[in-house]
Amino acid sequence: MSTIHLSLIAQDRIVYDDDVKMVILPGASGAIGVLAKHAPLMAVLQPGEILVRNDGEEDRYFSVGGGFAEVRPDEVVVLARSAESAEEIDIARAEEAMRRAQEYLGGPEKDRDMERRLAMESALRRSLTRMKVARKRAAVRSRSADHTPYRQAQQEEE
Ligand code: ATP
């Protein structure tokens, strides 16, 4: 199996560091799928989901709060503003962050401070991504419990 090394690095820690078959990154202008021997590129990432696929294993999901990726034929390095694996995400915390951001963005304060408004919009995107990634994992788990073949279930979802 041809693999590529993925390092997913957040500000305070290394979140993932291993060989993978494929990784899909949330590029600022769309999803970027990377396999071994990919052409070199640098990309800005938006807040979104990273999917990691390995042969014979369940797909793994990470939320990323934006950042940069450097792709080389044998390596992908992601420098993330923040990143969490699906297993690490605290849904209640993400919901609370979403509520805070929505409250601010729905109120009169939003037109008084552009910098704060942009920060809140970004916080809202991070919280929504975290909830999506955490719930996707929960959905995968419950399908596994039903003994539905994982690939089949994923195709049905798409
Ligand atoms: P909050 O307002 O809840 O702190 P935030 O989006 O402002 O959310 P970040 O600045 O992106 O938080 O992240 C700060 C740290 O907290 C990072 O290490 C990040 O991985 C972690 N983190 C933030 N939200 C969650 C969450 N819902 N579950 C797990 N870890 C989280």
**Residues in contact with ligand 1 (CB, 6 Å cut-off):** 12, 65, 82, 84, 88-90, 93-94, 97, 123, 126, 130
Q: What is the pLDDT of residue 155?
A: 55
pTM for the complete prediction?
0.88
Tell me the sheet residues that pair with 33. 24
Regions in the chain scoring below 70 on pLDDT = 1, 140, 143-158
Domains of the chain: which residue ranges?
4-88+124-150
How far is C-alpha 48 from the chain's CA centre? 4
What pLDDT score does 109 carry?
Answer: 85
> What is the pLDDT at residue 142?
72
Token pair of 86 as six digits: 């699906």
Distances (CA, A) of 64 to 11, 51, 56, 141: 11, 11, 25, 21
What is the whole-number distance in angstroms between the Cα of residue 127 and the centre of ligand 1? Answer: 8
Residue 40: its pLDDT value, please?
97
Q: What is the pLDDT of residues 130-144, one digit of tens each?
A: 999 999 877 767 766
Radius of gyration (Cα) for the chain, nearest Å?
Answer: 17
- The CATH number of the structural domain formed by 4-88+124-150 is 2.60.15.10
Nearest to 88 by CA among 61, 49, 127: 61
Q: How far is CA 122 from CA 36, 60, 156, in A?
A: 32, 24, 31
CA of residue 98 to ligand 1 center, whole Å: 11
